[in-house]
Amino acid sequence: MTENIYNQRLDYTKNDPLELEALPNNPFELFHGWYKVALEKIKRDPNAMILSTVSNGQPRGRVVLLKKLDEKGFTYFTNYNSDKAKETEQVANASITFFWRELERQVRVEGIVEKVTDKESDDYFMNRPLGSRIGAWASPQSSEIANREELIKNVEQLKIDFEGKEVVRPKNWGGLRLVPTYFEFWQGAPSRLHDRIVFELKEGVWKKKRLAP
């Protein structure tokens, strides 16, 4: 079994090389271009990203879904009492990582996490299917629970409580936005001579450069 892992490797061949000067000066523009390709080519979860936060010096990663991208940053939705949300309340620095295997591309984004407005959270929440809305009420995300039945019981009770009423957003659920100060676009190339292009925000201006793979 370990032998299989040992020999697990691919050569990357799909993309035309990235030329620093030919790329946009704004990383959001480049991200939009890459994301468009991801949407076309990736059937499942092109918006899945690893969100990494820090808990007392301990890095912690998990997958969340990108739900909104605008000129401010990358928004995901979660329980504000979850570990990830509490962690960025303590230390706002976080990173997100997209890996689009089919495209031989990775994007890393680093920055500061902030809460979105209540209106943005309400708008997104009300757009979710009823089952997910009830689920947001039912699940004390990241807290220990005795068993699955506990969750199912919560859901049954909530269905009764909300009978004839609109299932509105719980105040402890909503959006968080990572506002970037750093992007790295990675693209596979043959013989491990991959492209890596970094954008850093310096005094309000994005500076780009190439890194060795």
Ligand X SMILES: Cc1cc2nc3c(=O)[nH]c(=O)nc-3n(C[C@H](O)[C@H](O)[C@H](O)COP(=O)(O)O)c2cc1C
Distance of alpha carbon 118 from alpha carbon 123, whole angstroms: 8
Q: Which of 52, 84, 94, 184 binds ligand X (CB under 6 A)?
A: 84
Q: Which of 18, 62, 122, 172 binds ligand X (CB under 6 A)?
A: 62
> What is the full DSSP assignment across 87-147?
HHHH--EEEEEEEEGGGTEEEEEEEEEEEPPHHHHHHHHHTS-HHHHHHHHH--TTS--S-
Q: Which of 34, 72, 83, 110 binds ligand X (CB under 6 A)?
A: 83
Q: Which of 76, 183, 186, 199 binds ligand X (CB under 6 A)?
A: 76
Cβ burial, residue 105 (10 Å; 0-12/13-18/19+) = buried
Radius of gyration of the chain, Cα coordinates, nearest whole angstrom? 20
The residue (of 78 and 95) whose beta carbon lies closer to ligand X is: 78
The residue (of 144 and 163) whose beta carbon lies closer to ligand X is: 144
The whole-angstrom distance between residue 164's C-alpha and the CA centroid of its chain comes to 35
The amino acid at residue 114 is E
Residues, the chain: 213
Contact flag: residue 114 with ligand X (CB under 6 A): no
Contact flag: residue 39 with ligand X (CB under 6 A): no
Contact flag: residue 20 with ligand X (CB under 6 A): no
Contact flag: residue 151 with ligand X (CB under 6 A): no
Contact flag: residue 52 with ligand X (CB under 6 A): no
62 catalytic? Reply is: no
The residue (of 15 and 142) whose beta carbon lies closer to ligand X is: 142
Instruction: Kindly state the tokens that stand for 97.
Output: 């990582």
Q: Which of 62, 105, 169, 192 is catalytic?
A: 192
User: Which residues make up the interface to ligand X (CB under 6 A)?
Assistant: 45, 48, 62-65, 76-78, 82-84, 141-142
Task: Name the residues annotated as catalytic.
Answer: 192
